[in-house]
Chains A and B, each alone.
Chain A
Amino acid sequence: MTFTADSRFHRQLIVFNGLLPSLLMAVDGWRGKLGANPVEFVTRATGVLTLVFLVLTLLVTPLRKLMGWNWLLKQRRLIGLYAFYYSVAHLLTYLVGDRDWQILTVAADVVKRPFIAVGMLSFLLMVPLAVTSTNAMIKRMGGKRWAQLHRLTYLITIGGVIHYYLIVKSDITYPLFFAVLTALLLGYRLWMSLAKAKSN
């Protein structure tokens, strides 16, 4: 079997590498090596990892079209589920570390602070995508409708980048990095669909 056909191998690789950052974080936490402010670090790390996996899901289509790496398509839902996994961890860290489990104060926080609102909205939009990530769901919804629903990823990623940008005090290097990546990946899609419309 060639590398590109070995989807079981791809799956194992992505499962392990996706899990690895959280495993390392857990080990560091166990050994008390998460720095002076562990809550801040875990919050930031899980947030950034969510963005990383969101961007990776958006990378699949361009890589298929430009490089012919069609084998990636089979792994896209798994990559997306990792984005969801880290966003759940991110939300839990916020609830435990920032809100001290005072769930009722979250609503007030959402209303008062735009960056929390944007983050929360992006998270809520991820829930239906995670729920519909099974084969059975694709069948039930039909491929076309399923694909339409999962285009919400565009909005979620933009929301995630804005959420990141809004919390930074002055050094916007990292949010800008994700903003440029997202713009390129969404720009590519826009350009392709415009080109398609023209040729029709």
Chain B
Amino acid sequence: MSGSSKIPSSEITPEETFLNRRFFMKSAIWAGSSVATAGLYRAFAPRPEVASVGSVITSVAEPAVQSVLAADEKINSFGEIAGYNNYYEFSTDKSEVADKARNFVTNPWAVEVGGLVQSPRTFDLEELLKMESVERTYRFRCVEGWSMVIPWVGFPLAKLLAKVQPMSQATHVAFETYYDLKQMPDAGSAGIDLPYVEGLRLDEAMHPLTLMATGLYGKTLPNQNGAPIRLVVPWKYGFKSIKSVVKITLTDKEPPTTWNLANPREYGFYSNVNPTVDHPRWSQARERRIGESGTRETFMFNGYAEQVASLYAGMDLRTHF
């Protein structure tokens, strides 16, 4: 300690101050590191549950349809349905979509219906919301392996198509989602080509189960669920049920579909729910019902085989997956 003895005693930090300073430093490091770690965790943790901001849909004609669920199946809560969404235009994090889509403008809105039809026209939202609606509780099975039960409000797509009178050459229907990088700033990193496009065969589109949904739980659709109007095809994987539709085109050939374009080996045009045909990277035999622990069996055509199996009579569903 010969060197330090040369320092004038007035400059030596008193031991008490020194220990205090160390205590202060240590506490600051403790606090700073824990706040940083907890903050990082929070940044990636699921968001709190959302509440409905929709208005009541008054055009529901039928009383709530008796749902065709098994005795042990429960309708999912609004929070589950509106807080866990695949809507890549807003975010690829399902719990984040509700927040990112909060300010999405869905009114005014117009849906252009054209192509091979006798009387092409554009429907504005007001008119669509006035269409006689029905309440339909459907199973919703995502290709990722989870599922929900959702009480939709909407009208059969067949009713809309009847208004434009498809021509006899029309064999398919193509759909397109609204796309706008100003309102959807994260859409560029979604990893899929946008605008999102989907398609159905005309007989699938005309099937009475195929719905244009404008609401859920009796109120207009939350933005994150595809407001103001979306397709719902309950026997197909969820990505076929295209959201926030702005364009419907009747064609005479199979239209391109977004996930099929992104990865044709994994996502086919039909994408019917089928427990016997696995996704190349995971099994489709079982599903995780949101809100339940454990998994349950996946049904052929998502449990709607009785109504839709005839559409695919004679087809090899392994090649037409």
Q: B143 — nearest CB in chain A belongs to which residue? A: A169
Selected interface stretch from A32-40, A60-68, A72-80, A121-129: A32-40
Instruction: Tell me how many residue pairs across A and B have CB atoms closer than 8 Å.
Output: 90
B33 CB within 8 Å of chain A: yes
Q: A166-B281, A170-B190 are in contact. Are A21 and B46 (CB under 8 A)?
A: no
Tally of B interface residues using CB under 8 Å: 41
CB-CB under 8 A from A48, the residues of chain B are: 44
Q: A35-B83, A35-B84 are in contact. Are A41 and B46 (CB under 8 A)?
A: yes
1/0 per residue B194-234: CB within 8 Å of A?
Answer: 00000000000000000000000000000000000000000
B48 CB within 8 Å of chain A: yes
Pick from A13, A35, A39, A115: contact of B95, CB below 8 A: A35
Q: Say whether B83 contacts A36, CB under 8 Å.
A: yes
Contact residues on A (Cβ < 8 Å of other chain), bracket: 20 to 34
Q: Say whether B95 contacts A20, CB under 8 Å.
A: no
Q: Say whether A9 contacts B45, CB under 8 Å.
A: no
In the complex, what distance in Å separates the CA atom of A200 from the CA atom of B88? 54
Pick from A20, A37, A167, A172: contact of B146, CB below 8 A: A37
Q: Say whether A171 contacts B41, CB under 8 Å.
A: no
Q: Say whether B189 contacts A100, CB under 8 Å.
A: no
Q: Say whether A33 contacts B46, CB under 8 Å.
A: yes
Q: A20 — nearest CB in chain B belongs to which residue? A: B37
Q: Say whether A36 contacts B95, CB under 8 Å.
A: yes
In the complex, what distance in Å separates the CA atom of A100 from the CA atom of B190? 32
In the complex, what distance in Å separates the CA atom of A109 from the CA atom of B281? 10
In the complex, what distance in Å separates the CA atom of A123 from the CA atom of B116? 56
B25 CB within 8 Å of chain A: yes
B29 CB within 8 Å of chain A: yes
Q: Say whether A45 contacts B30, CB under 8 Å.
A: no
A173 CB within 8 Å of chain B: yes
CB-CB under 8 A from A169, the residues of chain B are: 92, 144, 191
Q: Say whether A37 contacts B288, CB under 8 Å.
A: yes
B57 CB within 8 Å of chain A: no
In the complex, what distance in Å separates the CA atom of A35 from the CA atom of B41? 14
CB-CB under 8 A from B291, the residues of chain A are: 36
A113 to chain B, nearest CB (A): 6
B73 to chain A, nearest CB (A): 16
B80 CB within 8 Å of chain A: yes
Q: Say whether B288 contacts A172, CB under 8 Å.
A: no
Q: A115 — nearest CB in chain B belongs to which residue? A: B281
Q: B286 — nearest CB in chain A belongs to which residue? A: A100
Q: Say whether B80 contacts A171, CB under 8 Å.
A: no
A22 to chain B, nearest CB (A): 9
1/0 per residue B277-313: CB within 8 Å of A?
Answer: 0100111000010110011000000000000000000
Which residues of A58-113 are within 8 A (CB) of B?
Answer: 97-98, 100, 109, 112-113
In the complex, what distance in Å separates the CA atom of A35 from the CA atom of B79? 9
In the complex, what distance in Å separates the CA atom of A41 from the CA atom of B44? 9
B29 to chain A, nearest CB (A): 7
1/0 per residue A162-187: CB within 8 Å of B?
Answer: 00001101111100000000000000
In the complex, what distance in Å separates the CA atom of A197 from the CA atom of B252? 67
Q: A167 — nearest CB in chain B belongs to which residue? A: B281
A-B contacts besides A35-B95, A170-B92, 5 pairs, CB < 8 Å: A9-B26, A36-B94, A170-B262, A170-B263, A171-B92
Q: 3 tightest A-B contacts by CB?
A: A35-B46, A170-B191, A36-B84
Q: List 6 A-B contacts (CB under 8 A).
A: A9-B26, A28-B45, A36-B84, A37-B146, A41-B95, A171-B92
Instruction: Using CB atoms and an 8 Å cutoff, list the residues of chain B in contact with chain A.
Output: 25-26, 29-30, 33-34, 37-38, 40-42, 44-48, 79-80, 83-84, 88, 92, 94-95, 144, 146, 189-192, 262-263, 278, 281-283, 288, 290-291, 294-295
